[in-house]
Structure 1
């Protein structure tokens, strides 16, 4: 619990702005953390994932202070919870601020599992109906987007245990599943 609270305290300070004051973000984050144990558990799982899969990660504190992929993913969890609660304008405001600070655009409607590692992550774009499973690693400049020709459920579904390499563009409502070995789309 302490780790998750420390992470979100750090994030709300980074994201605060004139349109999203720190006291508002603090109240928002604390309220969500108190009501959602799954988010708390995901923070721990994501910290472990980064430490295990990224050789540049010195320790867990190094991760949550310096790894913008980790921070963007945790910020998304708050925005996603707000999206599910019907607080869509606020969710998009947080998503826009995350985009400004971390150069990552994850739509608040996208579903992200646990044990996620977003490495380097600049240029990551994840569409509204995208789903990212558990134990997934995604590198920089990846797009999980729509084709622009469909409506409704229009973004990729990434199964558990997938590695998506740098510069990959996956468009449309397609499903990627893990087979006997980890896939890499490069």
Structure 2
């Protein structure tokens, strides 16, 4: 995102570079995408208008969309939209984190052809945004309602993240079906997680018992990461691996149990989404 100069005449000490908020960057493009699609596909016009064009800003559109995805006869979309507005108004960082997640999807997922497609249809994105609201409830000691949201999200999206889990920004949950994240896990910034991943415990012990995922980590499909262990910054976990020990920063691990088979040499794996493994050295 480019920076713009804010000039305050007569007060040079206040002149500074301002970085646009992610939500501002996303909102203008999202609306343009919505106008284009509604013009191309008449049957979607009412849906697109109600989901995007009817609203004044990204936060309002997000709250309404999430509510209609999750609402049912026991908890109406109207009540859920009010709850979402309450959380987003109290903590604007939730809005900006969600916009950063949307930006991450477009940068990392070749199936995302615009901001509009994941905003409307990607359940990994929807589940993560509801989790952010559930985590807000958890930190405000509204545990019963947070558990209710966790349950509904699991039922609707097949993604089960305990509301106590703090999650960073720019997080990409690709597909997400079968994702399970335990209570004392931590997920950092710019992390990418695919379907059928488990961040779980190793037994029935209490206390701090789940993985800590540092920035830039890529966890490939079907990986199981178990116990109070650390996935170091920029590491990569191969598909179907079972990780039971700490993984060093920048390492690539694969297998059951997972072992180090290589090291990163460029950008964080979570950013380039390269799920291949190093070529074996047959000279050994």
Correspondent of 2:103 among 34, 39, 48? 48
Report the counterpart of residue 41 of structure 2 in structure 1.
none
Q: Which residue of 1 aligns with 2:54?
A: none
Q: Which runs of 5+ in 1 are unaligned?
A: none
Is the CA contact 1:49–1:115 (under 8 Å) kept in the aligned structure 2?
A: yes
Count of residues in correspondence between the two structures: 184
User: What is the alpha-carbon distance in structure 2 between the residues aligned to residue 99 and residue 17 of structure 1?
Assistant: 14
Aligned counterpart for 2:160 among listed residues 89, 92, 105 = 105
Question: Which position in structure 2 is the counterpart of 1:74?
Answer: 129
The 1:4/1:185 distance shift into structure 2, 3 A limit, reads: farther
Query: Normalising to structure 1: TM-score of the pair?
Result: 0.95
Is 1:148 the counterpart of 2:217 in the alignment? no
For the Cα contact (< 8 Å) 1:4–1:43, is it kept in 2? no
Secondary structure at 2:111 match in 1: coil
The alignment yields a C-alpha RMSD, in angstroms, of 1.2
Secondary structure of the 1:112 match is coil
In structure 2, runs of 5+ residues without a counterpart are 1-22, 24-56, 240-284
TM-score by length of 2: 0.63
Q: Distance in 2 between matches of 1:120 and 1:137?
A: 11
CA distance in 1, matches of 2:215, 2:59: 23
Higher Cα Rg, which structure = 2
Q: Which residue of the other structure, out of 67, 79, 94, is the alignment partner of 1:39?
A: 94
How far is the alpha carbon of 1:21 from its aligned partner?
A: 1.8
How do 1:103-182 and structure 2 match up within 5 A?
A: 103-179=158-234, 182=235
The structural deviation recorded for 1:147 is: 1.0
